[in-house]
Structure 1
């Protein structure tokens, strides 16, 4: 993964962290920046494994929401297909994303309505922590990815600083307690509600699943500079400091 490693600098990490504060107040800004970075990451990973850009390849984005990534991948010459189970999320981007490039399908990532070996790249960005069976989602991603293709599964680690999502650091009190505290404070349940739309997924679980799949080729912290990637290999420490884990697999 040396191609992407050269891009994983401290300046990139600081830039992405500065955009994160807009996730709730201006999601188009945040996800626009994340989309550009994600396209660059996927491009780098494909170049590292295939020696060329993924131009003309088909990418399936599992949990793509309103299609924030669609235009960015289209600009890179990648055929984009988005999958999203929640109709509210599919329209959350408003008119700016309506009728944009790509194809969009309403379906669950845990039961993808696509044939075996049907896409070149299968991406899931920050979705696994929102489904009750994350590794079933992972297995589905591998099933639909062509042999020699890439499955890129990135998710927020529960014990990391962003594991509680809008609940903030209160998730360290325990998921159920943090969810109840949020509801008392705001008079409503969180969008990312522990036990229904947010689940505790560890780095160890993801690494174990990837190894058992027989398809793993890399794992690294998504937003960290290259010199901090060693954290992924340290049990316990990685649960608190990796923050977001990327699993790269090739069936």
Structure 2
């Protein structure tokens, strides 16, 4: 897909300069998580705010945003600063408190079985989580379940065959996830944080597009590469090529 009404605002923000800036910050995921997650929080707010405004003409003020896989809460201040009620869901209590941030309002639970009522949030969002769960489309269905009719579900996830699919074990994941994990352990003397088959899985673009297009209670509004400049969004339209070059796919689905 290329630009659509729902992406018209975010498309203006999707410049090469933004892509380079984010790529620079992403190098610090392990060494300086505050810098990494701070940049991701700002970008995530801009993404969701722009998509929602494009779809509805409204800001996030007064809306409820459920963040599936919210981790240690780096996104909380950004969304609450925009006037939204921000509710993170995270299954791992260690991860929830990893940054020493307040966890008030957070929910402990699995994205594959959200402890949230049907049709109870305005926006359900997940950033870079689907590749870490064994059944990502069960999670996607759960996200759509808890979204109110007319609300948005925004799923952003890392593609396995892209340059960052193996996370810290890349680019060796191209030769197999298990091989890459063993190689990492030999080189660093410890297991990778993201262990293939346990906390990291092979998820592709075609998988997500197939799910979104077939969801009976949702309408796919847009699909585009999250971190690419606008002029490279056409890559999503090309089978096989998109698996290697899109890197991170955003699916925007409106609840029927």
TM superposition shift of 1:215: 2.0
Question: CA RMSD, aligned part only?
Answer: 0.9
Equivalent pairs, count = 247
Segments of 5+ residues of structure 2 without an aligned counterpart are: 1-6
SS in 2 for 1:219: strand
1:160-205 per-position Cα deviation (integer Å, ceiling 9, x unaligned) = 0000101020101111111111112222211100000000000110
**Partner of residue 14 from structure 1, selected from 9, 12, 20:** 20
Q: Which residue of 2 aligns with 1:243?
A: 247
Determine which of 20, 25, 36 is the counterpart of 2:31.
25
Higher RCO by CA contacts (8 Å cutoff, separation 6 or greater)? 2
C-alpha distance in 2 between matches for 1:164 and 1:68 = 23
Aligned 1:7-156 pairs, distance under 5 A: 7-94=13-100, 97-98=101-102, 103-156=105-158
In 1, distance between residues paired with 2:13 and 2:61? Answer: 20
Question: TM-score normalised to the size of structure 1?
Answer: 0.97
Other structure's SS at 1:23 match: coil
Deviation at 1:142, TM superposition (A): 0.2
Cα separation, 2, equivalents of 1:215 and 1:74:
27
Q: 2: distance between equivalents of 1:103 and 1:241?
A: 37
Q: What's the secondary structure of 2:50's corresponding residue?
A: helix
Task: Please report how far the alpha carbon of residue 155 of structure 1 lies from its aligned counterpart in structure 2 after TM superposition.
Answer: 0.3
Which segment drifts farther, 142-151 or 174-183?
174-183
In structure 2, the residue corresponding to 1:246 is in which secondary structure?
A: strand
**What stretches of structure 1 move > 2 A for 4+ residues in a row?**
none
Partner of 1:224: 228
Which residue of structure 1 lines up, in the alignment, with residue 3 of structure 2? Answer: none
Name 1:205's counterpart in structure 2: 207
1:233 corresponds to 2:225: no
Once the two structures are superposed, what CA deviation does each residue of 1:73-93 show, in whole Å capped at 9, x if it has no partner?
011111000000011110111
- Paired with 1:47 and 1:87, the residues of 2 have a C-alpha distance of 33
Give the secondary-structure state (helix, strand or coil) at the position aligned to 1:217: strand
Q: Secondary structure at the match of 1:191?
A: coil
TM-score normalised to the size of structure 2? 0.95
Q: 2: distance between equivalents of 1:53 and 1:141?
A: 21
Give structure 1 stretches of 5+ with no counterpart: none
Q: Distance in 2 between matches of 1:59 and 1:52?
A: 14
Structure 2 residue corresponding to 1:191, chosen from 182, 193, 208 = 193
Instruction: State the Cα distance separating 1:28 from its structure 2 match.
Output: 1.0
**CA deviation vs aligned residue, 1:188-238 (integer Å, no higher than 9, x gap):** 211100000000000110111111114211100000011000000101110
Alpha-carbon offset, residue 98 of structure 1:
2.3
Q: Deviations over 1:102-149 (max 9, x none)?
A: 610110000001110000000000000000000000000000000000
